[in-house]
């Protein structure tokens, strides 16, 4: 039984469960409503994609909400397949998290569902579909079903003059040859938010402003590198959590599902490109124009100096002060299925849904000791918890708190988390083609 079969069999039961909740709709109006529906999206004049989106826009509406204040969100599904919305990075109950594998109900075609939870922790979170796509590269995260969810901290320092949310996405996926000789998704277009470079409204700034960019990589499979020509960026938070060591970078790496908050001092008047550092992806559309007040002309791109991305730049070099109560070894491997297909993936030798689940005891601190034996990098994500990255390739670090971490090919990484949110908890690679083909497991609280 693969993920599709698992979802098919369990979604019927979930749909039944959802039908048994009409009382939700008789209650007061929700704080937000998301309508999932097909959309013909114009990325640039003459360039359209047929996709699925929230409320007829890409990204979906920004949900900005105070930390700790209860929220209700009604979601209606106007597509022909069951859907679900995952609230990525939030500490909420399994049944509200929006992952079928944890017990959240699927929303049947034509159906609706109300999510109710208390948003926490503060910072940049996001929401997106959590459905299976498999070989159908017009489903799941290949679509436009994503949006930013900013949970306002109780004490917002507000050390900036302007705030800009940016979502990165790649469009019109098709099966292409990957560098490791198996197939992977390739794309026709790439965008920041919903427009290709040069075809959207520029971001207007003023000299000496401090602008915070809140960046979400909502791509199904592509890791992106961003740079702002003529400017340096300072990383202040990763995955919505303030980094212990804010550090300047000339280019930013964000893997699928990763987020980064960066501050830019606007000290170089002109018209610039904030875009992908790789020209082919920038040519495919990934970029946006930054325009200083009173400045005109063609936007300029300046190649940034080479960057060696290292999470340690934003962390303390000392080992974590909290030793784990238990170590959980996890080995990632691929199963070749032909040069004309996606690989299958295993954790400790087993693919989802046959992967072993791990029992957690509330209050204990667990260390996931990950060894990636494959030739692909994996941005792995733990639902409903935040972890601390404690070592990368055997070198310790501390203080860096995330919910997605890239485990590069043929390397190791360790992360610690406190089992403090009872309920089924999903762990998976956030590359859609990897999670669809087995790279997923469940933690269960005892």
Partner 1 sequence: MEWLVRSWKAFGLLAFAAVILWGCAAKLAFGQDNYEIQVYGSDTVAPKTTMLELHSNFTVDGTKPLPGSVFAADRMYPTNHAEHETLEITQGINSWSEVGFYVFTSLRDGQGWQWVGDHIRPRVRVPDSWHWPVGVSLSTEIGYQRRTFSTDTWTWEIRPIVDKQIGRWYFAVNPALERSFHGETVNQGVGFSPNAKISYDFNKYISGGLEYYADYGSLRGFDSLHDQQQQFFPAIDLNVSPNWEINFGVGVGPTASTDHLIVKGIVGRRFDWTHHRPGGSESLQ
Q: Is 179 in the site for partner 1 (CB under 8 A)?
A: yes
Looking at 408, 412, 444, 445, which residue binds partner 1 (CB under 8 A)?
A: 408
Q: Which two tokens stand for residue 397?
A: 């670090």
Which region, left, alpha or beta, applies to residue 123 given φ > 0 means left and ψ of -120 to 50 means alpha? left
Q: Which helix (H) or strand (E) holds 312?
A: none
**298 or 306, CB closer to partner 1?**
306
**320 or 351, CB closer to partner 1?**
351
Q: Which two tokens stand for residue 55?
A: 């409320």
Query: What residues from 287 to 346 belong to the interface with partner 1 (CB under 8 A)?
Result: 306-310, 336-341
**151 or 380, CB closer to partner 1?**
380
- Least CB distance to partner 1 at residue 288 (A): 19
Cα separations in angstroms, 68 against 52, 71, 91, 223, 243:
31, 9, 11, 32, 22
Place of tokens 């990075």: 89
Q: Is 186 in the site for partner 1 (CB under 8 A)?
A: yes
- What are the DSSP E strand ranges found in 119-223? 123-129, 146-152, 162-171, 174-177, 183-186, 189-192, 203-205, 210-217
Q: Which two tokens stand for residue 109?
A: 């075609």
**Interface with partner 1: number of residues (CB under 8 A):** 41
CA distance 193 to 409: 29
Query: What residues from 261 to 280 belong to the interface with partner 1 (CB under 8 A)?
Result: 277-278
Measured in whole angstroms, how far is the alpha carbon of residue 247 from the centre of its chain? 22
Of 10-18, 160-168, 221-229, 319-327: span binding partner 1 (CB under 8 A): 221-229
Of 72-80, 97-105, 356-364, 376-384: span binding partner 1 (CB under 8 A): 376-384
Angle at 165 (CA atoms; ends 216, 137), nearest 5 degrees: 40
Query: What residues from 418 to 437 belong to the interface with partner 1 (CB under 8 A)?
Result: 431
Of 49-57, 61-69, 91-99, 168-176: span binding partner 1 (CB under 8 A): 168-176
Measured in whole angstroms, how far is the alpha carbon of residue 6 from the centre of its chain? 23
- Least CB distance to partner 1 at residue 142 (A): 13
The radius of gyration of the chain from alpha carbons, rounded to an integer in Å, stands at: 21
Looking at 199, 302, 377, 412, which residue binds partner 1 (CB under 8 A)?
A: 377
Q: Is 239 in the site for partner 1 (CB under 8 A)?
A: no
Looking at 231, 253, 381, 430, which residue binds partner 1 (CB under 8 A)?
A: 253
CA distance 243 to 265: 18
Looking at 222, 243, 288, 397, which residue binds partner 1 (CB under 8 A)?
A: 222
Positions touching partner 1 (CB under 8 A) are: 172, 174, 176-186, 188, 221-223, 225, 251, 253, 255, 277-278, 306-310, 336-341, 376-377, 379, 406, 408-409, 431
């Amino acid at each position: 039984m693969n993920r599709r079969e698992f979802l098919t069999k369990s979604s019927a039961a979930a749909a039944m469960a959802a039908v048994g909740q009409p009382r939700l709709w008789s209650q007061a109006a929700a704080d937000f409503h998301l309508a999932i529906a097909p959309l013909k999206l114009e990325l640039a004049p003459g360039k359209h994609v047929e996709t699925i989106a929230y409320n007829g826009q890409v990204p979906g509406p920004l949900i900005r909400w105070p930390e700790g204040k209860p929220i209700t969100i009604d979601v209606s599904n106007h597509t022909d397949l069951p859907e679900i919305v995952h609230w990525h990075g939030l500490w909420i109950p399994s049944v509200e998290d929006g992952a079928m594998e944890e017990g959240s109900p699927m929303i049947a075609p034509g159906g609706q569902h109300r999510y109710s939870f208390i948003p926490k922790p503060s910072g940049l979170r996001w929401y997106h579909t959590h459905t299976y796509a498999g070989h159908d590269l017009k489903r799941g995260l290949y679509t436009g079903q994503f949006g930013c969810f900013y949970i306002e901290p109780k004490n917002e320092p507000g050390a900036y003059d302007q705030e800009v949310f940016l979502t990165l996405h790649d469009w019109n996926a098709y099966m292409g040859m990957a560098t490791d000789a198996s197939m992977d998704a390739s794309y026709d277009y790439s965008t920041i938010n919903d427009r290709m470079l040069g075809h959207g409204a520029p971001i207007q700034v003023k000299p000496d402003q401090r602008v915070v960019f809140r960046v979400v990589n909502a791509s199904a499979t592509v890791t992106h590198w961003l740079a702002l020509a003529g400017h340096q960026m300072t990383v202040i938070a990763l995955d919505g959590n303030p980094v212990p060591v804010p550090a300047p970078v000339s280019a930013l790496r964000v893997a699928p599902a990763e987020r980064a908050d960066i501050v830019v001092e606007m000290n170089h008047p002109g018209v610039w490109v904030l875009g992908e550092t790789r020209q082919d992806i920038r040519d495919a559309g990934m970029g946006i124009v930054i325009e200083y007040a009173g400045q005109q002309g063609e936007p300029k791109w300046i190649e940034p100096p080479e960057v060696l991305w290292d999470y340690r730049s934003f962390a303390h070099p000392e080992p974590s002060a909290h030793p784990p109560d238990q170590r959980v070894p996890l080995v990632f491997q691929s199963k070749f299925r032909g040069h004309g297909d996606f690989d299958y993936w295993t954790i400790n030798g087993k693919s989802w849904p046959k992967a072993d689940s791990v029992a957690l005891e509330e209050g204990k601190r667990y260390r996931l000791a990950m060894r990636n034996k494959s030739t692909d990098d994996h941005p792995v994500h733990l639902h409903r918890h935040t972890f601390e990255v404690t070592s990368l390739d055997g070198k310790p670090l501390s203080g860096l708190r995330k919910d997605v971490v890239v485990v590069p090919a043929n390397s190791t990484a360790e992360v610690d988390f406190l089992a403090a949110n009872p309920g089924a908890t999903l762990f998976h690679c956030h590359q859609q083609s990897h999670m669809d083909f087995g790279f997923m497991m469940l933690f269960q609280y005892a």
